[in-house]
Amino acid sequence: MKIGIVGYGNLGKGVECAIKQNADCELAAVFTRRDPKTVNILTSGVPVVNVADMEQYKDKIDVLIICGGSATDLPKQTPEYAKMFNVIDSFDTHARIPEHFANVDKAAKECGHTALISCGWDPGMFSLNRLYANCILPNGKDYTFWGKGVSQGHSDAIRRIDGVKDGKQYTIPVESALTAVRNGENPELSTRQKHVRECFAVAEDGADLARIENEIKTMPNYFADYDTTVHFISEEELKANHSGIPHGGFVFRTGKTGWDNEYNNVIEYSLKLDSNPAFTSSVIVAYARAVYKMNAEGMTGCKTVFDVAPSYLSPLSADEIRAHLL
């Protein structure tokens, strides 16, 4: 399976690494909006190509993995590239998924391609676990917790404050809330009761630390509804201890079974990831295999993780899967 990557940031690099781990996958080309000469990739012998020349690869790539941002890149790129290739993206603007799906579906169907949007772990594996658990326990309650992990959006928000040179924000689930859910107590949890936010900020020389701390803690939407702690640290310390992009989280469904709802059940799915983009990429590459197989079987148009039978993700045959994993 020949894979192309568009966009060589954290996610694109993650996809390159994931391809290395899958013997049936081969990186065919990396496409970039930058001058290809300025982009150094890890895999030797693979061309880096400007996006303007993408069409030349129309018949040389089985699945194109689009590693752009959800705000402005993917809404344009995915429908456009679906005309040339089977494609997969990690579109994560929940409210705009129906619109994005419709656009990609139209483009893919017209050209006989298969597309898969919103792939990764949330949306992605977390969505899948919510769906499975909801179908199994119709009489129940969902809980999703994120972290401990770095939120890029909240880190950016800290960095935009006057007097802040750099910063990193960790989203952390409240341990007592996790325990209450796990024990089947079905708690009603406010925003503040579910997660805390821990910030590490590097201040500019002479900046007013009290003002910065206050601006962070009172920032609407981002921090005001949470218990937030702010640590001021040096640039060196930030680099040494906070340069990773770990993440993870928990999806629970608690629900009742039995004639009189007399039995409690807890379904829990959790992820603990040293690198968010590397794991997201690993999910995407598994689904790229599914896209490739589904296209070969004539299943065209736009799909999501909900539409993919699990066996399509595996390099093994149906017989092997049944014999070894069932």
Q: How far is CA 110 from CA 62, 82, 88, 90, in A?
A: 17, 9, 17, 22
Q: Are 153 and 125 in contact (CB under 8 A)?
A: no
Among candidates 120, 138, 149, 125, which has minimal Cα distance to 253? 138
Choosing from 134, 186, 193, 229, the residue that interacts with a copy of itself (CB under 8 A) is 134
Angle between helices 10-21 and 276-296 (to 10 degrees): 60
Structure tokens at 193: 């009761």
What part of residues 186-245 is at the interface with a copy of itself (CB under 8 A)?
none
Burial 42-73 (b: 16+ CB within 10 A, else e): eeeebebbeeeebeebeeebbbbbbbbbbeeb
Window contacting a copy of itself (CB under 8 A); options: 10-18, 61-69, 148-156, 188-196:
10-18
> By CB neighbour count within 10 A (0-12 exposed, 13-18 middle, 19+ buried), where does 95 fall?
exposed
Cβ at position 188, least distance to a copy of itself in Å: 20
Window contacting a copy of itself (CB under 8 A); options: 55-63, 155-163, 186-194, 259-267:
259-267
Residue 139 backbone zone (phi > 0: left; psi -120 to 50: alpha; other: beta): beta
Task: Name every residue whose Cβ is closer than 8 Å to that of residue 33 and which is 6 or more positions away in sequence.
Answer: 7, 50, 51
Window contacting a copy of itself (CB under 8 A); options: 62-70, 168-176, 229-237, 276-284:
276-284
Window contacting a copy of itself (CB under 8 A); options: 27-35, 70-78, 80-88, 120-128:
120-128
What part of residues 24-63 is at the interface with a copy of itself (CB under 8 A)?
42
Nearer to a copy of itself, 7 or 124 (CB): 124
Nearer to a copy of itself, 51 or 278 (CB): 278
149 to 188: interface string for a copy of itself, x by CB under 8 A: ---------------------------------x-x----
Please report whether residue 116 would count as binding a copy of itself according to CB under 8 A: no
Among candidates 24, 17, 94, 28, which has minimal Cα distance to 64? 28
What part of residues 79-98 is at the interface with a copy of itself (CB under 8 A)?
94, 97-98
Choosing from 46, 109, 111, 132, the residue that interacts with a copy of itself (CB under 8 A) is 132
Strands 63-66 and 164-173 come out as unpaired
Window contacting a copy of itself (CB under 8 A); options: 28-36, 68-76, 163-171, 304-312:
304-312
CA–CA separation, 13 vs 30, rounded Å? Answer: 10
Cβ at position 290, least distance to a copy of itself in Å: 9
CA–CA separation, 302 vs 310, rounded Å? Answer: 17
Choosing from 2, 17, 46, 180, the residue that interacts with a copy of itself (CB under 8 A) is 17
Nearer to a copy of itself, 232 or 269 (CB): 269
Cβ neighbours around 166 below 10 Å, total: 17
Nearer to a copy of itself, 16 or 213 (CB): 16
Choosing from 53, 76, 110, 131, the residue that interacts with a copy of itself (CB under 8 A) is 131
Please report whether residue 14 would count as binding a copy of itself according to CB under 8 A: yes
CA–CA separation, 305 vs 93, rounded Å? Answer: 16
Window contacting a copy of itself (CB under 8 A); options: 82-90, 154-162, 207-215, 252-260:
252-260
CA–CA separation, 99 vs 237, rounded Å? Answer: 43
Please report whether residue 307 would count as binding a copy of itself according to CB under 8 A: yes
